[in-house]
Structure formats: C-alpha cells, structure tokens
Amino acid sequence: MAFIDFVGIVHKSTQRDYVQRVVEHDKAACAEVAGQFGKDYWDGERRYGFGGYYYDGRWRQVADAMVAHYDLQPGAKILDIGCGKGFLLYEFTQALDGAQVSGIDISEYGIANAKEEVRDSLRVGHCQDLPYDDNEFDFVYSINTFHNLFNYELHHSLQEMQRVGRAAKHITIESYRNEREKANLLYWQLTCRAFMMPAEWEFAFSQAGYDGDYGYITFE
C-alpha cells in the first residue's frame, strides 16, 4: 500500500469559504438533503452539494495519470466504486483503447443522469455488496466515497473492493492532519461519516486486508 495523490489537482482548483457554508444556511438541514444523493445533491443549489455537476473534462488528467502509473493496458477492465455521473469512467474510455468500464453508485439520480456514453455500464448499488465476480477487474478505484460510510459499513466494503480487484486498486478519501483541517472538513462536508486521520485510514485498510494504494484530500 502506497500513498499516491491523483485527485489533489482537481480538488485544489475549487475555492471554498468554510465559515460561510456554516453561517449562511442551516447546515444540518442542508446535510440531510445532501445525504439523499438526489437531484438537489448533484444539480440543486450549492448549499446541498455540487451546485450543478456537469461534464467539463477536468477528470481527464486523473485518468491519464492512473493509466500511466498502473501501466493499464488496452482492453483493461476498470471498476469505479461510487461512480456518480461516470465522468471519470468516460475519461478512461478516451485515455485507454478498448477500456471496459463499469461503475456502481448508491445514487439513482446520478446513474440516471450519467454521461450518456457510459451510462449503460453503470448500476445502482452499495459497496458493501458488489455485484461482480472475484478478481474480475484489472483496476478498481473509488474517489471520495468511502468516507461517506458508517464505521460498521467500512470494513466489509473494503473487503468487497479487495475481492473484485485482481490487480491495481486505489482509494481517495477526505481526511485531516491537524485541528484546523478537521474544523474545515466539519464546516464543509455534507455527507461524510468516517472522520479519520491518515494513520487511522491506514489502520482500517490493513484490518480489512486491503492492499491497494490510497490518497486523501484535505481542507486547508
């Protein structure tokens, strides 16, 4: 298991006012709406989530970096756990000849409104019970999903990710390294359930037998 940051460049491109998010609206009420992962979360007002999550090509650089780092070969089978609207999976089809992509997400709205080119390869489901065979995929990744799990869901979900991947794996989660980043994460997050420092995440990974790589984003 190694730390590799694939997502930082995308994360840092967004400016955030942490305190405003807490004082401008009823943060608890907004989080309750966001936690339904419906239209409001994806394409509603910013206080409920993304404020409109539309394809803009920003994820291509992440796909290119992952293909290069893991030396993914043409025709590789790739799974995205928590795929949302499938934007990163679409980029894999552009970055890698013959890429066979699959995605799963808990959000029915996200899947129904996914990128048209990959929509038929996506399904609604939970990462605790992945509907795929053992060792089915050459590369399995999850971006900003596992921190949304309750602690009683996390262990088995990690085991499921380990089960379906026969080779490279990568997880990116939200985390914090100090009290300032912890406060900012609490101010900004809407759906996070697992609040852990990097060392705690590494412990959870090892306890579940997850042997892939990981990265984390922080709110500085």
DSSP 147: G
DSSP 146: G
Burial of 13 (0-12, 13-18, 19+ CB in 10 A): exposed
Tell me the helices (H) and strands (E) count for the chain, helix number first.
10, 6
What is the full per-residue pLDDT of the chain (220 aa) written as tens digits? 899 999 998 988 777 888 888 888 999 999 999 999 999 999 999 999 999 999 999 999 999 999 999 999 999 999 999 999 999 999 999 999 999 999 999 999 999 999 999 999 999 999 999 999 999 999 999 999 999 999 999 999 999 999 999 999 999 999 999 999 999 999 999 999 999 999 999 999 999 999 999 999 999 9
Report the C-alpha gap between 99 and 47 in whole angstroms: 36
CB atoms within 10 A of CB 183: 15
CATH architecture of 8-217: 3-Layer(aba) Sandwich (3.40)
Q: Distances from the Cα of 26 to the Cαs of 39, 47, 52, 161, 194, in angstroms?
A: 19, 9, 20, 35, 22
Provide the residue ranges of all domains of the chain, joining segments of one domain with +: 8-217
